[in-house]
Amino acid sequence: MIADIIPGSYVAIELANSGVLVKSGPFSYLLQSNVPAIANNIGFLYAENLSFPLVTRVFSDFHIAIYPPSGMISNMKKQVQFYLDGQIIFNPFPLHHATAMLEWGMNWCISTQIHTYLIIHAAVIEKDGFAAVLPAPPGSGKSTLCASLVQEGWRLLSDELTLINLTTAEAVPVPRPIGLKNQSIDIIKQRYPESVFGVLSSDTLKGSVCHLKPPSHSVKLQFEECPIGWIIFPKYEADADTELLPKSKGQAFMEIANNAFNYSVLGVEGFDILKKVVDRADCYSFKYSNLDEAIAVFEQLDSPREI
């Protein structure tokens, strides 16, 4: 049996010594830190994808460590530093942002280091065997919508990074916690009181940030890729009527290419795979202000044409 939550005190001991190994889809992260909030967050959010390797020389795709930087000033300022494979990656950041920085850093590792997939800045969820990709810039209500749909039974493949298999053009799951900001945190907590949240990071550059644990069902299916049936560009607009409109494939192609981290790195391969994805999917733009109505629209999506 796998525990729903592992006590932070237990995680803390391993995290400060050999580290803990977090697996998510095709990637594994070896994490080390002496920050208690990180131990708590990992215990809350990653209990089902966590192992304790007992030795640090275990294979991982990314070896991440978060520790206070050396030097008295940084210690007095209560700062911590993000290390990837022993290298400092970002400027020191406040200790109370550590949990948010860990999640952002884990995304950064994939989006900058991995080119064996086409990677799009988009949420991706699945229902009845087809994935819906939701590409959107920050502030579009993508994560709030994604969190709600996932709580309503959609499978989470990713809240932030849509990975596309360069051979099959299918979506590859990386079901990690969903990052929610500011009002969205309370909206989801009130709508879904059973949902499990990690530690709150306040006053970050993006405001207050808190991560929502992905459902067990999504984690269990983390190795099952999924054909992409819909590409939907969501936009939250206060007081807007709910509106799902067909979007032309050419426009969809260009917007996805612009939202991709490595489209230009992949060159011809990127063009070919994106063409295949857009060919197969139904494309829409989607405006909403009311989450109940938004959920209803997704529940009523027509089955995509045969893929």
Partner 1 sequence: MLYKWKRPVLFSTWDNEIVVYQFLSGDTYLFSDLSKTLIEHCFSKNCFDNAFLESEILGLLESQQHVKDFVSALIKRLLNADLIISEGM
Q: Footprint of partner 1 on this chain (CB under 8 A)?
A: 248-251, 253-254, 257, 263-264, 267-268, 271-272, 275, 278-279
Shortest Å distance, C-beta 133 to partner 1: 17
User: Among residues 72 and 268, whose Cβ is nearest to partner 1?
Assistant: 268
User: Among residues 51 and 251, whose Cβ is nearest to partner 1?
Assistant: 251
Shortest Å distance, C-beta 270 to partner 1: 8
The pair of structure tokens assigned to 208 is 């207050």
Which has the closest alpha carbon to 103: 56, 16, 50, 41? 41
Shortest Å distance, C-beta 227 to partner 1: 19
Beta strands of 99-217 (E only): which ranges? 117-127, 130-135, 155-158, 161-165, 171-172, 178-181, 201-204, 207-212
Cβ-in-10-Å burial (0-12, 13-18, 19+) of 195 comes to: middle
User: Among residues 129 and 267, whose Cβ is nearest to partner 1?
Assistant: 267
Shortest Å distance, C-beta 139 to partner 1: 25
User: Among residues 197 and 233, whose Cβ is nearest to partner 1?
Assistant: 233
User: Among residues 37 and 119, whose Cβ is nearest to partner 1?
Assistant: 119
Beta strands of the chain (E only): which ranges? 20-24, 27-33, 50-51, 62-67, 79-84, 87-88, 93-94, 117-127, 130-135, 155-158, 161-165, 171-172, 178-181, 201-204, 207-212, 228-236, 243-246, 282-288
- Chain centroid offset of residue 102 CA: 12
User: Among residues 98 and 232, whose Cβ is nearest to partner 1?
Assistant: 232
User: Among residues 177 and 229, whose Cβ is nearest to partner 1?
Assistant: 229
Shortest Å distance, C-beta 253 to partner 1: 5
Shortest Å distance, C-beta 232 to partner 1: 17
Beta bridge partners of 83: 65, 88
Shortest Å distance, C-beta 279 to partner 1: 8
Q: What are phi and psi of 301, to 5 degrees?
A: -60, 135
The pair of structure tokens assigned to 220 is 């269990």
**Owner of token pair 């970050």:** 204
